[in-house]
Structure 1
Amino acid sequence: MFTSKKIQTVGTIKEFLNPSPVKESTEVITGQEGMPFVFGAMFPVFFTMQPSMSFAATTASASVKEEVSRKVIDAFNPLTELVQGLSYPLAFLAFSAAGIYWLLGNRPKALEMMQGATIGYIIVQLSPMLMRLLVSVTAGF
């Protein structure tokens, strides 16, 4: 899903917008012995050459990376759901304890508990997004 794509440049924008006209040559291409070069002789060589980079190879490697990323996220999904399910009752208990401290007059301790519970709850609820971010960062390596 979050993979880096490599871009290959072929030329400049100026060359693309103003292509130079192709000049037709009338001279005969000759081989080593001075005989005319036969283009049909090179025909089988073009079919045996392998391209250095093909679209199918990059698509296959990108899909493998996406598949691995999806499997990593799916493997940790039960754990993140468990932690998210427990975060609401724990935040409720922390806020209740902070309320008791507030009533007893220990306001700095109450504010500290409320702040900690709020930050912890937000981090736990954002954990799936953080995990996807980490997986996408490591997918580029």
Structure 2
Amino acid sequence: MFKSNKIQTVGTVREFLNPSISTPSKKDIVPMLATGATFPLILNTMPTFSFAESVTTSASVKADVSQKIITAFQPLTELVQGLSYPITFLVFSAAGIYWLIGNRPKAVEMLQGATIGYILVQLSPLLMRLLVSVTAGF
């Protein structure tokens, strides 16, 4: 459509390397203006790029970081959970002794504290995943 059947010469190598030597004639400006007028049309027909891929990449990076954080704290979590069994047993035993002695309010207080502490320690992996997922959005 915009193809010309005429053979056009560019010039010498010297003119190509030093464009200040030759100035474009009026004949050369017309095709440049026509090309410049069609440039916005070319841009409209070019495919658009979406940033959805970079968002998914960012989401996968966040998921990887979250998983690494959880994996890094897993030995500590397992250690605390492992220590919670004997400590809870000792507190329950002490509460039982207080109950037998007759100091029931102290025994109930110890049983409540030990039970709540044990439940929180057992839920610590869940709480850690929750905190990591909340902070991953930032």
TM-score (normalised: structure 2): 0.67
- Which runs of at least 4 in structure 1 moved beyond 6 Å after TM superposition? 38-41
Partner of 1:116: 113
Q: CA deviation at 1:55?
A: 1.9
- Is 1:103 equivalent to 2:126 in the alignment? no
The structure whose RCO (Cα within 8 Å, separation 6+) is larger is: 1
Where in structure 2 are the equivalents of 1:40-119 lying within 5 Å?
Answer: 42-43=41-42, 46-47=45-46, 51=49, 53-119=50-116
Task: Tell me, in whole angstroms, the C-alpha distance in 2 between the residues paired with 1:102 and 1:138.
Answer: 44
Q: Which has the higher helix share?
A: 2
Which amino acid in the other structure matches residue 125 of structure 1?
Answer: Q
TM-score normalized by the length of structure 1: 0.66
> Using a 3 Å threshold, how does the CA distance of structure 1 residues 43 and 101 change in structure 2: closer, same or farther?
same
User: Structure 1: which 5+ residue stretches go unaligned?
Assistant: 1-34
**AA of the residue aligned to 2:60:** S
Q: Distance in 2 between matches of 1:44 and 1:114?
A: 73
Q: 1:109 to 1:41 in 2, by over 3 A?
A: closer
User: Distance in 2 between the 1:114 and 1:138 partners?
Assistant: 34
C-alpha spacing 1:108/1:41, structure 2 compared with 1 (3 Å) = closer
Question: Aligned pair 1:133/2:135, yes or no?
Answer: no
Rounded to whole Å, the distance in 2 between the matches of 1:41 and 1:118 is: 71
